[in-house]
Amino acid sequence: MQQGLPGDEVIIQTQGHAGLIRLNRPKAINSLNEAMVSGMKAGLDAFARNSDVTCVILSGEGERGLCAGGDVRQIYAAKSASPEDRTRFWREEFPLNYTISHYPKPYVALMDGIVMGGGVGISAHGRYRIVTERTRLAMPETAIGYFPDVGATWLLPRAPGEAGTWLGLTGREIGAADAIYAGLADYHVASQRLPELVHALADVSFAADVGAVVESFSSKPDADGILAPHQRRIDAAFGFDTIEEIIDALVSAEDSFAKETLSTLQLRSPTSLKLTLRLLRLGRGSSGLVECLEREFAAGCEVLRNHDFYEGVRAALIDKDRNPKWSPATLDEVSDEEIDSYCVPTEPPLFRGHRL
Q: What is the mean pLDDT of residues 20-29?
A: 97
For residue 356, what pLDDT is reported?
43
For residue 346, what pLDDT is reported?
87
CB 171 within 8 A of CB 206: no
Active site members: 70, 118, 141, 149
CB 40 within 8 A of CB 122: yes
d(CA 91, CA 141): 18
> What is the tens place of the pLDDT at every residue in 304-354?
999 999 999 999 999 999 999 999 999 999 999 999 999 999 888 899 755
d(CA 18, CA 72): 31
Report how far apart, in Å, the C-alpha atoms of 128 and of each of 43, 105, 160, 353 are. Answer: 18, 11, 19, 29
Report how far apart, in Å, the C-alpha atoms of 174 and of each of 131, 261, 323 are. Answer: 11, 14, 24
CB 331 within 8 A of CB 340: no
Does residue 22 have a pLDDT over 80? yes
DSSP 113: B
> What is the tens place of the pLDDT at every residue in 234-246?
999 999 999 999 9
When comparing pLDDT for 268 and 6, which is higher? 268
* Residue 345: Cβ within 10 Å count: 12
For residue 352, what pLDDT is reported?
74
- Range 297-336 burial, b when 16+ CB lie within 10 A, else e: bbbbbbbbeebbbbbbbbbbeeeeeeebebebeebeebee
Q: How does residue 96 score in pLDDT terms, banded at 50, 70 and 90?
A: very high
Q: What is the mean pLDDT of residues 210-220?
A: 98
DSSP 345: P
Q: What is the mean pLDDT of residues 131-143?
A: 98
User: Which of helix, strand or coil describes residue 114?
Assistant: strand
For residue 168, what pLDDT is reported?
98
Percent of the chain with pLDDT over 90: 92
